[in-house]
Amino acid sequence: MKDFMMIFTGADYTDLGLSPEELQTRMGKWFAWGNKMQEQGILKGGEALTPQIRRVVGKNRTITDLTSAEVKEIVGGYYTVSAKDFDEVVKIAEDYPDYDLDGSVEIREIMVFDR
């Protein structure tokens, strides 16, 4: 088994005009997905991120504050899961709830260093 990270980009709820009802439904789907992974014992961790961004760039460490509107694909959160290979994570990612809001899941394998 290897560890993978599923990184969620796009689908920032802020300006989509979603109703409370829709938000609750979406949350329910996230909840069910998390539950499912936990029951399968594959969920290692994960966090959601707020949309505020402070970016530090370049040699001069220039600092800029950005909002989600100014960033093309904002990272909204991530989960780490253990799985056999990429294909298995793709299957897990099928339950990601926000594809219809143009959200996407990026799957990356977590590197293991030899000791």
Partner 1 sequence: MENQLIDHLFRHHSGKMVSVLTRIFGLKHLDIIEDAVQDTFIKASISWRNNLPENPEAWLTKAAKNRVVDIFRTLKTAQKNLPNINQGTDTIAINELFLDSEIEDAQLRMIFTACHPQLDSRDRISFALKTISGFSIKEIASALLTKEETIKKRLSRSRKAIKDSDIKFKIPQGEALKPRLETVMEVLYLVFNEGFHSNKKEKLIRKELCGEAIRLTQMLLKNKLTRTPDAYALCALMCFHASRLESKTNAENELLDLKHQDRNLWYFPLIKLGNTMMNKAVETPEFSCYHYEAAIAAEHLKARTFEATNWKKILHWYQCLNTLQPMPTHLLTMSVVCMQTKDFKLAKRYLDELKPEDFQQRAYLFYGAKAEFYAETNDYLKASEYFDLALDNVTNALEKKYLERKRNSIIRN
CB of 109 to partner 1, least distance (A): 22
CB of 44 to partner 1, least distance (A): 12
CB of 60 to partner 1, least distance (A): 33
Yes or no: say if 7 and 75 are a contact pair by the CB < 8 Å rule: yes
Residue 19 or 62: the one with the smaller Cβ distance to partner 1 is 19
Sheet strand arrangement including 75-83: 43-48, 75-83, 2-9, 104-109
User: Which residues contribute to the site for partner 1 (CB under 8 A)?
Assistant: 13-14, 17-24, 26-28, 30-31, 34-35, 38, 46, 48, 76-77
CA contacts within 13 A on the Cβ side of 23: 9
CB of 5 to partner 1, least distance (A): 15
C-alpha to C-alpha distance for 44 and 34, rounded to whole angstroms: 11
Q: Based on the number of CB atoms within 10 Å of its own CB, is 96 exposed (0-12), middle (13-18) or buried (19 or more)? A: middle
Residue 38 or 64: the one with the smaller Cβ distance to partner 1 is 38
Residue 27 or 110: the one with the smaller Cβ distance to partner 1 is 27
